[in-house]
Amino acid sequence: MSAPTMAGPKSTQSTASLRHRLAERGIDTSLLMLLPALIFALALFVYPFSYGIGLTFQPSPATQQQWGDGVFSNYAAFFKDQFVFDSIWLTMRLALPAALFNVLASIPVAFKLRHRFRGKKLLTTLLVLPITLGTVLTAQGLLIFAGRQGWLNRFLIDIGLIHQPLTLVNNYLGVMFSLVISGFPFAFLLISSYLSGIDPSIEAAAKTMGADWKQRFRRVILPLLAPGLATTFILTFVLAFSVFPSARLVGDAMGSTRVMALMAYRAFGEQTDYPMASTIAMMMGVIELVVVAIVLMWRSFLYKGSTGGKG
């Protein structure tokens, strides 16, 4: 690694051996344990990633013909082609509300479930179960359960609440349901582990000083929980942002749920336009990182001490 160059210029008149001096700076042979992971990261992440960035500047002939010559032709296509560009808005319209809902709905649930009560373990296990369903079974289940002939519509018609079956799948709502079913347990697990990291004696102290539950929640728990909420929001947002199978299976793949991931895959698998696919993929990363950065910036204004919880 870069070890010798690091310590080289700084070496003074010390009599200790080079090896000793390096060891003082934390460099010795045991660092070799890091090597496999580094090689892995460079070969499977850094190299393909930079290759992909390079690829975005090598537009295919077809793209150049349609969107003008030059290295930026892919980006021109991305921003000028309404069909592609609109997918940003369509993705955001799904991912942001889904992530917000999952985080906000998890707070009261995690809050109520943090005390001991009978059947808590069973309930937690049940809440974790959707993770096993996977997107594909969730999609299949939603199609059957919430479809026009499904039990949900049948039940609502039978009790006289509605007269026409509701269209709950093959549109925006279907994908939203699927995102909540897969994202909510995840958000709940994270938030309840953050919540368990908050020292109960702090809340007890607030209680002693006469704070009612609203004050305790707003002034004590929420500030301590906020960094964890930000992290959870980011993670659920990342999950929802790259939604792809459910957008195709329970959504309206050519209409209201034409998300970026679908567009990227269309360019990759169906049109085999690798440069364009990479461009869409990279823009996905950029847009997601912008949202993550905004949330992290907001988080940096919050309390940063120990809450015990750690992602």
Partner 1 sequence: MTTQTAATGTPGADVPSPPTRTRKKAARAPGERSLAAAPTTWFVWAAIAAFFVFLIGILISVVVDSFGTQWFNTWLPEHLTPTWYTNAWDTFDLTHIIGVTLTVAVTVIIISVLVGVPAAYLLARRRFPFKRTITLLFLLPVLMPPITYGIPLATVLYNFGLGRTLTAVILVNLVPSVPFVIMTMTPFIEQINPTIESAARMSGASMRKVFTKVLMPLLIPGILAASILVLVRTVGMFDLTFLVSGPQSDTLVVAIYRAMTAAGGGEARQLISSMAVIYTFTMMVILIVALRFVSPTQLVARVKDSSDD
Give, as ranges, the residues between 34 and 93 that touch partner 1 (CB under 8 A): 34, 36-38, 40-41, 44-49, 51-53, 55
Q: Contacting partner 1 (CB under 8 A), which of 130, 166, 203, 226? A: 130
**Which of 67, 237 has the CB closer to partner 1?**
237
9 scored as a contact of partner 1 (CB under 8 A): no
Specify the amino acid at residue 50.
S
201 scored as a contact of partner 1 (CB under 8 A): no
Q: Which stretch binds partner 1 (CB under 8 A): 60-68, 69-77, 80-88, 263-271?
A: 263-271
Helix axes 130-145, 172-196, angle to 10 degrees: 150
E strands of 15-118, at which residues? none
Helix axes 82-112, 172-196, angle to 10 degrees: 40
Q: Contacting partner 1 (CB under 8 A), which of 136, 162, 254, 297? A: 136
Contact 276, 74 (CB under 8 A): yes
Q: How far is the CB of 66 from partner 1 (least distance, A)?
A: 21
164 scored as a contact of partner 1 (CB under 8 A): no
Q: How far is the CB of 65 from partner 1 (least distance, A)?
A: 21
**Which of 59, 309 has the CB closer to partner 1?**
309
Q: How far is the CB of 83 from partner 1 (least distance, A)?
A: 18
Look at residue 295 and give its three-state secondary structure: helix
Contact 191, 103 (CB under 8 A): yes
118 scored as a contact of partner 1 (CB under 8 A): no
Can you tell me which residue has the tokens 């009261």? 108
* Integer Cα distance of 198 and 209 in angstroms: 18
11 scored as a contact of partner 1 (CB under 8 A): no
165 scored as a contact of partner 1 (CB under 8 A): no
Contact 102, 183 (CB under 8 A): yes
* Integer Cα distance of 139 and 38 in angstroms: 38
120 scored as a contact of partner 1 (CB under 8 A): no
